[in-house]
Amino acid sequence: MKNKAQSTIEYALLIAIVAAAFIAMNMYMQRSVQANFNIIEEQINTP
């Protein structure tokens, strides 16, 4: 029983780490896309 509980905790921890990595990657990607939009907007609006 103790072994099964430890395995469950390990899987839950692994899923939490993977979820945190995806959230951090999502924030980074949003900032990157927004920066590219700003660059394109500046190029369009420059006379």
- Read off the pLDDT of residues 1-47 as tens digits, 9 standing for 90 and up: 667 778 899 999 999 999 999 999 999 999 999 999 999 999 998 87
Distance, CA of 39 to CA of 47 (rounded, Å): 14
The residue extents of the domains of the chain are: 1-42
Q: Which of 21, 1, 35 is nearest to 43 (CA)?
A: 35
pLDDT at 1 (0 to 100): 64
pTM of the model: 0.62
